[in-house]
Amino acid sequence: MDDSSLPALSFSLIEARIEAMPEGPSAELTTPRWAAVLNLIGAGGAIVGLLPSVFVHFVEPRPWMAVMALSGLAVMACACAVPFARSLWILLRHMSRNTKSTIEQMDHDRVVFGELTRWLARYPKPVIADHLRFAQHMQATVQAKVGLLVGGLDKVGILPAAFSAAIALQGWLDHSRPPLWLVIAAIFLALLWGIGVLASFARMRVQVFETLLSNAARLQDGDRSPAR
């Protein structure tokens, strides 16, 4: 059923509707945006902490290099510790409740997805089809770019940043000069980890758009099959 009184459909409008929906009993299982911001700050701190290990290959060590390295590692540790501790605590608490909270969240999400699907189904079919095609295109594009840039690093969590921090700490605690190639590799790992964090959030949101739009298209066609 088309409704001419509806505002023009856009992904910003869909995002606003999603944000306005209640989160449910296990909303803590959803990673908040501030956690992504802290992870990016942590990646930046790891890179700053590694830069002095590059500088010592070209100039004599200076006291400010030690300050820079330790400051960068401190920023990384503080920024990454909060989201990591939160995720660990939520995971342990969630596992201790067995599957009850998961089932409750699934029931809640089914109702929310149904409301959003019925709202989207009020738009003309060509509009839904156009947005669905673009969402599918963006999903494929994001996956291709993530695979090209970071490969499978987005599946190993915080390990790349931890490896980068270990390289920086080893150099300064042992008062040695790590091989330049190893330091550069550690910097790239921290950088790619930050890119992977951003890409993962973008991919998850586009996937939600694609699911809602495909469900709305099936609803318009009279297919009442459950959401994916």
pLDDT of residue 129: 92
Q: Is residue 133 very low, low, confident or very high in pLDDT (cuts 50, 70, 90)?
A: very high
* Rounded distance between C-alpha atoms, residue 1 and residue 126, angstroms: 12
- Per-residue pLDDT tens digits for 142-201: 777 777 666 665 566 667 777 777 777 776 666 667 777 777 888 877 777 777 777 777
Q: What is the DSSP string of 116-175?
A: HHHHHTTS-HHHHHHHHHHHHHHHHHHHHHHHHHTTTGGGSTTHHHHHHHHHHHHHHHTT
> CA gyration radius for the chain?
23
Compute the average pLDDT of residues 131-135.
92
- Per-residue pLDDT tens digits for 67-119: 888 888 888 888 877 877 877 776 676 666 556 666 777 777 788 888 889 99
Backbone angles phi, psi at 117, to 5 degrees: -65, -45
Integer distance in angstroms from the first to the last C-alpha of the chain?
A: 22
Over 60: is that where the pLDDT of 225 sits? no
Determine what percent of the chain is predicted with pLDDT higher than 70: 77
Residues contacting residue 27 through CB under 8 Å, at least 6 positions apart: 105
pLDDT of residue 174: 65
Q: Which amino acid does the sequence have at 46? A: A
Over 60: is that where the pLDDT of 12 sits? yes
Distances in Å between the Cα of 208 and the Cα atoms of 8, 204, 220 are 19, 6, 18
pLDDT of residue 204: 81
- Encode burial over 182-211: b for 16+ CB neighbours within 10 A, e otherwise: ebebbbebbbbbbbbbebbeebebbbbbbb
Compute the average pLDDT of residues 115-133.
91
Enumerate the domain spans of the chain.
Answer: 31-220
Q: Which amino acid does the sequence have at 25? A: P
pLDDT of residue 226: 45
